Structure 1
């Protein structure tokens, strides 16, 4: 039994190491450990679910207005924009929040375990800084009946 477990572990070892060191080894020595910052986040890179971090990336200081088990919310005001940043301890709380917000409609910048609310024309520049996807939610007053334009 031990021999079979050892053989299985050794067989999986190349797979586990192939995902990590190979890409790093191909970089020149001076690039190792350096981080790159740009105005547009790299594909798949999004801000972590922390109000303060997202606010910092957006260039403003947050004022926390809600601390609850299901969410944390802060307003973020700068000379150019006002945002409402909401973070969640689990994805299920974000999905519930979005479902509730869909009653009112609106445009939101949505990332993993966070949502940024703001004027729609400011969400694309914000997305370039923090990542995420812009989502348009339909409100109750949106025409959804058959034959509506």
Structure 2
């Protein structure tokens, strides 16, 4: 699939950078119980009430959540934006390919937490806000395990 305007050579994100980026997201996990045992998550309902799932674009997902994003990371492997709505604060991370999202989720499982996950995107927020966001954005709520 051709990309617009830039030479996008896909490179792998060094694990240290990926884990470092996840440390920024760990605060958005919402203080979930750290005693979870499974590295991958239990899943709740998988589609929003309208049956629509947001595309992998930070600005579109933020708009559906009712906020305007501030882009914090714009790299070949991911884009990340923060946005604040009246209901919640969101960290929206999008990926150019599913394999980058899976690598991100694998690394995030070390920190635990609950995330809203869709095709090539992940939304971080306090756990109590994720189900409401899922109704607007789509995706699946996943609770990632912690190794501690």
Q: Which runs of 5+ in 1 are unaligned?
A: 1-38, 142-149
Q: Is the 8 A contact 1:108 1:116 kept in 2?
A: yes
Q: Is the 8 A contact 1:41 1:130 kept in 2?
A: no
1:135 maps to 142
Show the 5 A alignment for 1:1-149: 40-42=49-51, 45-141=52-148
Task: Please report the TM-score for the alignment, with normalisation by the length of structure 2.
Answer: 0.67
Task: Please report the TM-score for the alignment, with normalisation by the length of structure 1.
Answer: 0.66
Cα distance in 2, alignment partners of residues 127 and 54 from structure 1: 11
CA displacement at 1:140 relative to structure 2:
1.6
Q: Which runs of 5+ in 2 are unaligned?
A: 1-47
Cα distance in 2, alignment partners of residues 66 and 105 from structure 1: 22
Q: Which runs of 4+ in 1 moved over 2 A?
A: none
Cα distance in 1, alignment partners of residues 64 and 133 from structure 2: 9
In proportion to residue count, which structure has more helix? 1
CA RMSD between the two structures? 1.0
Aligned length: 101
